[in-house]
Chains A and B, each alone.
Chain A
Amino acid sequence: MHLLKHLRQLNGLQGLRQAIRQVSSAPTKPSALQYERDPQPLFTDAETQRLLQSMTQLNLDRVYRKRTVPDNSSETKFMTNEQLDSEFQDMVVRAQHMLQMPPIVEIKKDVQRVIAKDPALKDFASTKYVFTDITFGRRQSERKVFVRETDGTLEYANLDTIKRMNQLYFPLEGRQSYIPRMFALEELLSKCLTEHKYEFILDRLLVQYEPHEPEFHNISARVFEHLNESKQFDLLRSTRHFGPMAFFYAWHRCIDDLLYDMIRRDYLHNAVELIALSYKVHQIPVEYEATLTELDKLHPTPSQKALAELRSVFRRPEDQQGIEQEINTAIGKTEQDFAADEISLKFIEQYIASEHSLKKVQLELAVQTLKEVNREKLLLFQGLKKAHGVQAS
């Protein structure tokens, strides 16, 4: 009886193990949305990069948020204005570096490349031999790794082995030699997603996987899809993942939710850029470059904007433009912004009217609301200007 019971227990365990194995393959199973052709040329295009960077925005508070790392000491210094200004410039450059987008490349296929077959070496050893070139300073992708199989074949190692050897000899900080449970088990990943830990998942994904691995594509696609449903796009704004996310939506023709979010938050120039990006990706013959150049003239780039915000500490209260500045800050917009809004609204309405938009009613409503708010703001702006005797241009 005992034996029987033991057997049954063992069987039960095996069933459990199988279940775990089935579950564990779930997050890495191919998602519905995949890049069907190589997205790299489009992604690395200079114009696309500019659009994505502009959409990401640059919020210094968010980029330099307090991190819980072992050493996060701060330093206090006395500086002259010139030194402070150069420090500000450095800070913006460093922030741009922190927003470096992870590359989007095709999934790399594993090909077996045999160098030599030596049947004489068969059963020379009971294990495989892996040879790795560990020359200092060589790039990871250029590192040569070979495997001598037990049947005497000498061949190039597969991608998995190369990654493991690289991690063994030149460890990347934060990467595990095993698959983290978070990525291995379906329920843990979906739990993280429902708790909106998007940035954490994506950060961890970057460290754990290479951009050309299928797991990288599948999990990031899953995160973006979930994000598109929960509509918490603001969680990724001004992080390095916003660009790839926007690109993903543009590629898979589902920009409408993101567009709605941008309109609602009054980031109209970003909305125009997103539409332009989707036109560019799908090669839709709509003229968007003229609108973009016009907007670029009126809008500073994110880095310029951040720098201007930092430099506002130099401004003196008794300056000439004091009152005009005050009006601008009270309204939250300048005259240029109003002009830019008009151009971008025209462009967005054109998009909504076209057949490319899927959620027309929602977008139209958002645009209408924004228009009304803008009109009120404009009236207030003009009224304030008149009351303070600032010359209207």
Chain B
Amino acid sequence: MLPIARGIYGGLVNITRNSRGALHTASAFRCKAETSTADAESPEADGEDNSSSSAPDPKDRSKVIPVETSMRYLKSAAYKQTYGEDFVWTQYRRNHKGMYAPRKTRKTCIRQNRISTGNPCPICRDEYLVLDYRNTELLEQFISPHSGDVLSYSKTGLCQKTHLRLMVAVQQARDSGYLTYDVPFREYDYSEYYGQEQKQKA
């Protein structure tokens, strides 16, 4: 109950702040209220639908999926059926006019907790793919086996926002030891540690 109240309060503040775009803010306000209810519900019960009136909207991304669910999903039969042995980005194709794709991918696929495009990027289109530093199985699909770098968005087709999140998750995972990488070789100058008499011996 409290989050809803807070949402309403926020909406009211918005309306009073810029009374010019009253209609626009009003719609945004409804949206916000909905998200806050979803947020409140998700930890308690997953099965309950927040949009009770009609069938769930396939473009709705307001529900937060926990990482553990995503990790289970990546091991499940449903995932296998969807992607097979491929990476999640292999089968994805960008839509563009003309022969050449624009240099950069789109800025974001999800606006106001809804998919705002007809061809969302490989991560955004499947809501059960959650980018997180613990989700190593997913992160590994975006790391080059040759150079160890994160693959470019020109190859994977991720939207800019998701690509940034991916880079952050990979760095966090490496820092926490979830992902291993080849540490640069450190050469020791023994005389620095063993002092003078050792230098003469060697």
Contact = CB atoms under 8 A, between A and B. Distances in A.
A94 to B, nearest CB: 11
Classify the interface of chain A: helix, strand, loop or mixed. loop
* Contact-residue size bin, chain A (C-beta under 8 Å from the other chain): 35 or more
Contacts of A173: 184
A141 B192 contact: yes
B177 A69 contact: no
A197 B180 contact: yes
B94 to A, nearest CB: 26
A68 B177 contact: no
- Most-contacted residue by chain A among B172, B176, B201 (CB, 10 A): B176
Given A40-B194, A100-B188, A102-B188, A174 B176 contact: no
A46 B194 CA distance: 13
Interface in B176-202: 176-177, 180-190, 192-194, 198, 201
B145 interface: yes
A189 interface: yes
B182 A68 contact: yes
Nearest to A46: B201
A65 B180 CA distance: 15
Given A102-B188, A180-B175, A188-B177, A200 B183 contact: yes
Contacts of A185: 176
A182 B183 contact: no
A8 to B, nearest CB: 15
A170 B144 CA distance: 30
B16 interface: no
B184 A44 contact: no
Contacts of B192: 139-141
B185 A44 contact: no
A44 B177 contact: no
Interface stretch (B24-32, B61-69, B85-93, B146-154): B146-154
Interface string B116-136: 000000000000000000000
B197 to A, nearest CB: 10
Interface residues of B, number: 26
B194 A68 contact: no
B193 A105 contact: yes
Contacts of A70: 147-149
Contacts of B186: 102, 172, 174, 206-207
Contact of A103 (B148, B177, B185, B194): B194
A192 interface: yes
A191 B182 contact: no
A68 B146 contact: yes
A185 B177 CA distance: 11
A69 B193 contact: no
A176 B201 CA distance: 34
Contacts of A311: none
B182 A69 contact: yes
B181 to A, nearest CB: 7
A189 to B, nearest CB: 7
Contacts of A90: none
Contacts of A40: 193-194
Interface in B21-54: none
13 contacts: A68-B145, A68-B182, A69-B182, A70-B149, A71-B147, A103-B193, A105-B193, A141-B193, A173-B184, A180-B177, A200-B181, A200-B183, A201-B177
List the 3 closest A-B pairs by CB distance, nearest first. A68-B148, A182-B177, A203-B183
Interface of A: 40, 44, 46, 67-72, 97-98, 100, 102-103, 105, 139-141, 172-174, 176, 180-182, 185, 188-189, 191-192, 197, 200-201, 203-204, 206-207, 211-212
